[in-house]
Chains A and B, each alone.
Chain A
């Protein structure tokens, strides 16, 4: 870790001013310090934003709830109202890393975290994501990589909150150039789909302020599969949310993590599910649609059947929580 300066910001505007140039926002610090320790990024100034007012609250509205970007993952996990209203969000939060990390990790940091591709994270490989001219993973060790991508980099998004937020059709409110910008989860990661250098669509100085979650989908569920039983990254994660009206799905959304640079969503599948009664056959057909265009590589093809199983299970879990 190189030497840096440090400042504590007390307003979003001053935070933005401080961070301009070669600064970085410091919230939970899990991702940032990890990147700095491996010299993967450099920052001359760390701007502690943890005392920014108003961003550490969970607010309940009738049409949507607002979660401040400084709310910790542990806060979400422990919040009884969230567990009741958005069970999938509770489940996703509980699967994030470990207790020690959840205690400091923030919603904003979880969404903005960088790739976990082991070539990107390696201090001595200069891959596409680090402005090199080669994706080592594509013909190398790609067991944890994407089934879908819009560019030559195959590192997937790993934020489990992004997966569940996508299924809940949540919106991130981002402070950009002094103005609040609203971004869907798809928009929040779109740039990573297109540009190998990008981890998300945020530019330097952009600050996630909060996330708004519509309350319309009263059912939600999240599942992830990993090599281990705890404290392990998802090989695939899956979230689903919907209303169930007269036994039929209304406005269903399915999203997957760790298989694409963006939360993987297939509109055709959502449309297919809309109005359907959930059963094994419906879930299977939806899974087929969602994975139809997967482009498995040498070592990650197992993610196709794995994702298929998770989609089916997550969807059926929606039904189970009637």
Chain B
């Protein structure tokens, strides 16, 4: 998934990764790669780590992302600045705009207000992980059909919020959508279309209220 990043960008080779585990490396190296994160968590438990960069493994869109990160690096920064996953956007970096929304498990969260180190061991889904084999998800398709986007910068966040809502509640009404999307900001003013798209993805069609009238 991830291409080799330039120097100091946090990516590191498998060898340095295990080396950085220090004495644990031997144990971890012999174990399944999938258990590395669990091992790490156990080792790090009650152990003080940082402030310098430490190995962090994130499971993003079904793939492992192994990074060297200072504990203060947020999940959003890890995705956008330490990997090539720029789908989640930085709109405020203060948990107010929702452009950075990703799913932890099935739960939408603001990735800007979550430390990457805390997000280990949980399946993370970003907007890049929704389309399967180039086929748009139901929610993505509805956003496209209903033109529920303008500049598109808030779109990944809204798509994630709506996706999470439909997982929790497959037949939401307008009030449910408003409640679920209250934490997402759009400055282009695409809200009515986002509402229509969310409902369409839930199988509820709303008609456009636009009317064209000839002047002459």
Taking beta carbons and an 8 Å cutoff, which residues of A are in contact with B? 1-10, 14, 18, 26, 29-30, 33-34, 36-37, 45-46, 48, 50, 74, 94, 97-101, 103-104, 230-231
Contact = CB atoms under 8 A, between A and B. Distances in A.
A100 B108 contact: yes
Provide the main secondary structure of the chain A interface: mixed
Contacts of A8: 41, 44-46
B91 interface: no
B49 to A, nearest CB: 5
B135 interface: no
B49 A5 contact: yes
Interface string B66-88: 00001110100000000000000
Given A6-B71, A37-B94, A48-B118, A100 B109 contact: yes
Interface in B157-216: 161, 164-165, 178-184
B28 interface: no
28 contacts: A3-B52, A3-B71, A4-B72, A5-B51, A5-B71, A6-B49, A6-B115, A6-B117, A7-B48, A7-B49, A29-B114, A29-B115, A29-B118, A33-B74, A34-B94, A45-B48, A46-B115, A48-B118, A98-B183, A99-B108, A99-B161, A99-B182, A99-B183, A100-B101, A100-B108, A103-B109, A104-B113, A230-B182
B61 interface: no
Q: How large is the interface on B (under 10, 10 to 19, 20 to 34, 35 or more residues)?
A: 35 or more
Given A5-B71, A8-B44, A34-B94, A101 B183 contact: yes
Contact of A98 (B51, B93, B98): B98
A33 B115 contact: yes
A7 B43 CA distance: 10
B65 interface: no
B183 A100 contact: yes
B21 interface: no
Contacts of B44: 7-8
Given A29-B114, A100-B109, A101-B183, A3 B161 contact: no
